[in-house]
Structure 1
């Protein structure tokens, strides 16, 4: 088990409502590529009484399965149009193969996890996005049944949540994973989140050398995109992290999941990765 010492309930910045808990968002493909030690770190945190709640995506796997099934998809302004046929595959991949793969990876190292879809128990309630006529069954979150998540945690399991939402009529919705993670964190009363990626944080060139910015505001990120300091594949990563800043969530830490004991180090207060903060 990890020897990393985490903050006590009295001085721990990550303590919420008398208990240490955190929401972690990660893409399905990123999680699948992480070393076994990452999941061992999750197991050790759980054993120490820390409460991880995981929300995952799975875009590349959805695309792969749509191609295998011969289902063509249309993109509108960079967003996949979610028809009923596409939605069937979204649910199959997110709530099925990706979700259970993550559960297996956690359990293989001795952790305890339960996979959930946002449909289960009406966990993630949703309604159509405003431009649903263009992009189909894509939803925005209207509510989260936080007691279901807390109940799973209280039984000693990590909730692993697939971002598929549902409305009162039973209609399913494809939910952006980052938005879903932010909503889950906000409804749980968690003010900070960890976004696990394959980059060390937001980089900036200082005197000809790329350096990780320890802290940056949402506005500063937008400015850096405009000036070209953030470019290419980093733009969707930072925009995804910004999407997690929702409701009560005021800060997101973006980190490289391949770093040893990255979660324990962040929770222990180490200055690693980039903190993205929403200014008052």
Structure 2
């Protein structure tokens, strides 16, 4: 089985991904690596809820996913978001297949806190054999983070960062990449190629990492708790590769892991 790279792409980035990004996907494949894409869809979900005049409440910063909100989440994530990625991958000569967590019982979940958050779930199981079968055919899975309840009836909305981390661990992935709109963590306009969690937290405290980059690096760090030894922040606006080398900031639990 080829080495697997799990790539998490936020909903806000999907329309901004460049030809260079997709071409680098082809290069990864040609170099014997197998991409697996997990995507979010936050901004598009917000827009659709607004268009449909569906109000949603928040609890400690997290949206409560009611049954009505869940219908919209499913429609957006498994519809326009997935289709855009699959269509663009296909246009660049790659075979891709859009999946939700319902397909092949790919993701199973339980409620995180039903009283406060409704149908927001946490993953209890990843059907890695199903995914590996798809990967063995040379197909890139494009996964929207929806999961079936362990009761076989409920549907759950999963945080895309968390889903990507769970899937990467289950597949024993070589790399987990978080796609952003910048090349990685920058200090004085220079790319920081390697950093430990401790150093990243210091960069935040010192104001080197600010604004929208803070939640991105924190999401990457959170995924390390799932069992990955390192994660990478990369740009979706350029190629992922410089030659055969992935370009971005790699964050390690311990920087000693670099050496």
Q: Is TM more than 0.5 here?
A: yes
TM-score, normalised by the number of residues in structure 1: 0.84
User: What is the Cα deviation at residue 137 of structure 1?
Assistant: 1.1
Secondary structure of the residue aligned to 2:104 is helix
TM-score, normalised with respect to structure 2: 0.91
Aligned twin of 1:265:
242
1:143 is aligned to 2:120: no
> Displacement of 1:242 after TM fit?
1.7
- The answer to whether the 8 Å contact 1:191/1:250 transfers is no
Partner Cα separation in structure 2 for residue 98 and residue 145 of structure 1: 22
Query: Match for residue 117 of structure 1?
Result: 100
Shift of 1:144: 0.4
Q: C-alpha separation between the residues in 2 aligned to 1:278 and 1:91? A: 34
| Matched residue, 1:216 | 195
- Unpaired runs of 5+ residues, structure 2, are none
SS in 1 for 2:242: helix
The C-alpha deviation readout for 1:63-89, integer Å capped at 9, x for no partner, is 011111110111222211111111111
| Distance across 2 between alignment mates of 1:38 and 1:97 | 19
2: CA distance, partners of 1:237 / 1:72: 26
C-alpha contact (below 8 Å) 1:186/1:248 kept by paired residues: yes
Distance 1:117 1:246, change over 3 A: farther
2:172 equivalent to 1:172 = no
Contact 1:191 1:248 in 2 (8 A): no
Cα drift, residue 246 of structure 1: 4.2
* Partner-residue secondary structure (3-state), 2:12: helix
Distance (whole Å) between structure 1 residues aligned to residue 117 and residue 198 of structure 2: 28
Deviation of the 1:278 alpha carbon: 1.3
- Separation in structure 1 between the aligned mates of residue 200 and residue 166 of structure 2, nearest angstrom: 21
8 Å CA contact retained: 2:4, 2:175: no
Contact 1:191–1:251 (8 Å) recurs in 2: no
Query: Please, which runs of 5 or more residues in structure 1 have no aligned partner?
Result: 1-17
